[in-house]
C-alpha cells in the first residue's frame, strides 16, 4: 500500500489556485495524484459544514478519478479544521468519531477512519495548544481521549494513522529546541502525551527508519521568509502504525514541496 498524508491548509485555496502559494499547493496535489496512492489523508481541509462545493468536487475527482471521498467538516466554526480520506478502494466502513474530547473539539471534524480487510486507516488533525498555551489543558484531555480511541481500533485490527499531531516529539524533531521549550507543540506536556501514545503500542515510522538523522522536518513557518531556505523547521506530521505491523513498512519520507512553506506531505509504503 502507498499512503500519503498532508495538512493542505485549505482545499479551496488549492482548487482556486489564484495566488502563487495556491498554485504551489495545487502543484503538490497534482504530484500526489500522479503517484496513484491507495489512500490520501488530508488535514485542515477548511471545507464548509456540508462538504465540498461542486467546483471542489469536480476538481478533486478530476485528479483522483474513480476514488472515494470521505470528509469530516467542522460544525463548530465555519471553514475551520476538517479532515478527509481519499481511497482507491471502497472501505468496509467509514467513521467520523466523537471521542469525548473537551469543548468543541469533537465538532471540529478532526478524525476520519476507514476500515479495510486487514487494517484501519485513520487521519487526525490534533488541536493546537494555542497562543500563550491557552488550550493546553484541553489539548492534554484530547490526547488521552484520542489514545483511547486508537487503542479501541487496535484491539480489533492493526491501525495505520497519520496527520498533523501538532507536536515535535524530541529535540531532534525541530531546529531550535531550546528556544521553543515553552512553545505550543514542544511543551513537556505535549511531548509526554505523544510518548504515552507510542508506549501504548505504536511506532513512529519515520523515526524508526531514521533514528538518529537530524534535520528531517515536515513544517516550516510561513511568517519567516527564510524558514524553508534555512531548513529551520519542525517535524509535527507523522505516520504511526501498530507495532505488530511495523516490520511491514518499506519506506517513509517527507515529500519535497520546493519553495512552498507550511506543511509537506508524508509518503508511506507498507506491505499489507
Binding site listing for Mg(2+): 7, 44, 164, 166, 262-263
- Annotated catalytic residue: which of 67, 70, 120, 125? 125
Going through the chain in order, the beta strands assigned E by DSSP cover 2-7, 39-43, 68-72, 83-87, 93-95, 111-115, 120-125, 159-164, 202-204, 219-220, 237-242, 249-254, 262-263, 266-270
- Quick count: other Cβ atoms within 10 Å of Cβ 171? 14
Binding residues: 7, 44, 164, 166, 262-263
Cell 488550550 found at: 135
In whole angstroms, give the CA distance from residue 41 to residue 163: 7
Take residue 151 and report the three cell numbers written for it. Answer: 487503542
CA 152 to chain centre: 20
In whole angstroms, give the CA distance from residue 73 to residue 81. 7
Contact 223, 248 (CB under 8 A): no
Active site residue 263: yes
Q: Which of 9, 106, 143, 164 is catalytic?
A: 164
Is residue 125 part of the annotated active site? The answer reads yes
**181 has catalytic annotation:** no
Sign, CA dihedral 94-237-81-141, equals: positive
- Angle between helix 188-199 and 136-154 (nearest 10): 10
Q: Which residues sit opposite 121 in a β-bridge?
A: 114, 160
In sequence order, the 6+-apart residues with CB closer than 8 A to the CB of 216 are 173, 206, 210, 235, 254
List active site positions. 125, 164, 263
Amino acid at each position: 500500500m502507498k499512503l500519503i498524508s498532508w495538512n493542505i491548509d485549505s482545499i479551496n485555496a488549492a482548487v482556486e489556485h489564484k495566488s502563487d502559494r495556491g498554485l504551489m499547493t495545487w502543484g503538490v496535489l497534482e504530484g500526489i495524484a500522479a503517484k496513484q496512492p491507495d489512500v490520501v489523508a488530508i488535514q485542515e481541509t477548511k471545507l464548509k459544514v456540508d462538504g465540498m462545493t461542486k467546483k471542489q468536487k469536480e476538481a478533486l475527482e478530476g485528479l483522483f478519478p474513480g476514488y472515494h471521498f470521505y470528509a469530516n467538516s467542522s460544525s463548530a466554526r465555519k471553514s475551520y479544521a476538517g479532515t478527509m480520506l481519499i481511497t482507491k478502494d471502497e472501505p468496509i466502513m467509514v467513521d467520523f468519531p466523537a471521542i469525548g474530547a473537551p469543548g468543541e473539539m469533537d465538532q471540529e471534524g478532526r478524525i476520519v477512519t476507514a476500515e479495510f480487510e486487514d487494517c484501519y486507516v485513520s487521519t487526525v488533525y490534533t488541536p493546537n495548544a494555542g497562543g500563550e498555551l491557552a488550550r493546553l489543558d484541553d489539548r492534554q484531555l484530547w490526547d488521552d481521549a484520542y489514545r483511547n480511541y486508537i487503542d479501541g481500533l487496535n484491539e480489533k485490527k492493526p491501525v495505520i494513522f497519520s496527520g498533523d499531531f501538532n507536536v515535535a516529539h524530541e529535540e531532534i524533531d525541530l531546529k531550535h529546541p531550546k528556544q521553543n521549550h515553552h512553545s505550543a507543540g514542544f511543551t513537556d506536556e505535549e511531548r509526554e502525551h505523544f510518548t504515552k501514545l507510542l508506549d501504548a503500542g505504536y511506532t513512529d515510522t519515520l523515526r524508526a527508519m531514521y533514528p538518529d538523522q537530524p534535520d528531517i522536518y515536515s513544517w516550516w513557518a510561513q511568517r519567516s521568509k527564510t524558514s524553508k531556505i534555512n531548513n529551520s523547521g519542525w517535524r509535527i506530521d507523522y505516520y504511526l502504525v501498530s507495532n505488530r505491523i511495523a516490520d511491514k513498512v518499506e519506506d517513509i519520507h517527507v515529500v519535497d514541496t520546493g519553495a512552498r512553506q507550511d506543511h509537506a506531505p508524508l509518503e508511506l509504503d507498507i506491505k499489507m
